[in-house]
Amino acid sequence: MKFAVLVFPGSNCDVDMYHAIKDELGEEVEYVWHSETSLDGFDGVLVPGGFSYGDYLRCGAMANQSNIMTALKEFAAAGKPVLGVCNGFQILTEAGLLPGALLRNKNLKFMCRTVTLNVENNNTLFTNQYAAGEQIEIPIAHGEGNYYCDEETLASLQANNQIVFTYDNNPNGSLQNIAGIINEQGNVLGMMPHPERAANEIVGGADGLKLFTSIVKQWREQHVNN
């Protein structure tokens, strides 16, 4: 399986994403600069955290105007896996690939620590290696991680089982403790915590690695084992 890691001016978790795929999974991965216009040849796309374009206007708003976003929207529409983490989640909401928005943390402070997540839906291409209700330890590092959507959108997310991760102890004020959601089609996941920073026990835990192995497992079942 071959992954693309998108890189915008201000991205700072792209190297972590690359490491998780290349060194922990042993899969192919390449950086793709924001000015590129094609994602041909890739099987999955990772949109990393950081401060794209310095978070000017709104987090992710300027990144959504980059050339590569047209290709990303086409990639997602084709049903291929897209993972956006932290600033990547913000970019996916700005692009309309996921509903809702990320607001300033309730305490108005940047937070960087490990939190406990609940796996609310393990029947997705991103979570099939987790147990239903499993609790995992994943780092956060954000100032605008407070997920918000209107009542109609929340009802839709709940009805379609699109809430994938919730916080066990909400750190940022997110609606219904939401930490990660998928689109209706089930191939686009956005989450604020950083699974790529929890891919090896040597850095404090490997609970995030199952997310990446889940993607690869499902892709192989669909493309290799058939």
**pLDDT above 90 covers what percent of the chain?**
95
DSSP 8-state class, residue 21: I
Q: Among residues 86, 120, 142, 144, which one is catalytic?
A: 86
Judged by DSSP in three states, 3 sits in strand
**Widest Cα–Cα separation across the chain:** 50
Mean pLDDT of 190-209: 95
**Residue 194 a catalytic site member:** yes
In tens, the pLDDT along 24-55 reads 999 999 999 999 999 999 999 999 999 999 99
Distances (CA, A) of 182 to 28, 62, 124: 24, 22, 9
**Residue 86 a catalytic site member:** yes
**Residue 196 a catalytic site member:** yes
Query: 2-223: which CATH architecture?
Result: 3-Layer(aba) Sandwich (3.40)
Instruction: State how far the Cα of 222 lies from the Cα of 4, in Å rounded to an integer.
Output: 19
Instruction: State the pLDDT confidence band at 8, using cuts at 50, 70 and 90.
Output: very high
In tens, the pLDDT along 63-102 reads 999 999 999 999 999 999 999 999 999 999 999 999 999 9
Angle at 138 between CA 134 and CA 140, to 5 degrees: 140
Q: Among residues 19, 34, 142, 194, which one is catalytic?
A: 194
Query: And the tokens for 148?
Result: 């918000």
For the chain, which residues make up each domain, given as ranges? Answer: 2-223
pTM exceeding the 0.85 threshold for the entire prediction: yes
Q: Of 74, 60, 48, 79, whose CA–CA distance to 184 is shortest? A: 79
- pLDDT reported for residue 138: 98
